[in-house]
Amino acid sequence: GAVVSQHPSRVICKSGTSVKIECRSLDFQATTMFWYRQFPKQSLMLMATSNEGSKATYEQGVEKDKFLINHASLTLSTLTVTSAHPEDSSFYICSAIPSGGRQETQYFGPGTRLLVL
């Protein structure tokens, strides 16, 4: 149980275009989801906390107008990278905390590799 999926698994886009990444909790509901970014040879860095039905909370240094987060249901959060540039190329990973029940564990998606040309 506790499976989180991401779509797409990898995407290549041209500079200046927007890319949407979906994060779904497949067998549980998640009031809270997180979005992380990971550059090569580095650890995961939290970008934002996504709460169902409310605005996302962004970490310092993350532009909220560039990385749009929508958490419209208890099983889906989306991250849209707007006007993507080559420096946005990275591995984007989401995670989710099950609503109710065991609150202490997060479950991570498989990640989405974004390459901006």
Partner 1 sequence: DAKTTQPNSMESNEEEPVHLPCNHSTISGTDYIHWYRQLPSQGPEYVIHGLTSNVNNRMASLAIAEDRKSSTLILHRATLRDAAVYYCILRGFYGQNFVFGPGTRLSVLP
Q: Three-state SS for 15? A: coil
Q: 12 or 16, CB closer to partner 1?
A: 12
70 near partner 1 (CB under 8 A): no
17 near partner 1 (CB under 8 A): no
81: Cβ–Cβ under 8 A, 6 or more apart, which residues?
Answer: 18, 19, 20, 21, 66, 67, 88, 114
| Residue of 39, 103, 115, 117 interacting with partner 1 (CB under 8 A) | 103
| Residue of 13, 22, 29, 46 interacting with partner 1 (CB under 8 A) | 46
Q: Is 108 exposed, middle or buried (0-12, 13-18, 19+ CB in 10 A)?
A: middle
Site residues, partner 1 (CB under 8 A): 2, 4, 6, 32, 34, 36, 43-46, 49, 91, 93, 95, 103-111, 113
